[in-house]
């Protein structure tokens, strides 16, 4: 009985960790999609950290934006999701955005 109880506790912890990792990945994807949809020139205003204390996953979310060297019109966005649950590792993702060229419908 004691062995079975230990296995149940271990299984519950593992399930919680897997669920938290899945939620972290979903939050990360949502934030990256939001940052990818923003206008290039508005990215600088997005830098900083925010604490989210509501379910499903209380976490800290930090966004840092740096200009890629050489003035080539590109910015690197770094997103860090750090769950409050210390059993789940923080995750860092990078997104590179470029200004691109203005479309000219006249071709001149």
Report the candidate in 75, 79, 78, 80 with the shortest Cα–Cα distance to residue 97.
75
| Domain boundaries of the chain, sorted by first residue | 2-98
The model carries a pTM of 0.75
Asked if 59 and 82 count as a contact pair (C-beta separation under 8 A), the reply is yes
CA-to-CA distance for 40 and 66, rounded, in angstroms?
12
Can you give the pLDDT at residue 107?
57
Report the candidate in 46, 24, 25, 26 with the shortest Cα–Cα distance to residue 35.
46
Q: Give me the residues of the chain with pLDDT under 50, please.
A: none
Can you give the pLDDT at residue 67?
87
Can you give the pLDDT at residue 19?
85
- Residue that has been written with the tokens 């508005």 in this structure: 42
């Amino acid at each position: 009985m004691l062995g079975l109880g230990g296995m149940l506790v271990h299984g519950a912890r593992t399930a919680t960790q897997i669920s938290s990792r899945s939620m972290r990945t979903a939050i990360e994807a949502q934030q990256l999609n939001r940052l990818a949809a923003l206008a290039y020139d508005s990215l600088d205003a997005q830098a900083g950290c925010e604490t989210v204390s509501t379910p499903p996953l209380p976490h800290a979310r930090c966004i840092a934006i740096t200009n890629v060297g050489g003035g080539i019109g590109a910015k690197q966005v770094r997103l860090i999701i750090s769950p409050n649950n210390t059993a789940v590792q923080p995750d860092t993702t990078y997104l590179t955005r470029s200004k691109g060229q203005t479309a000219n419908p006249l071709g001149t």
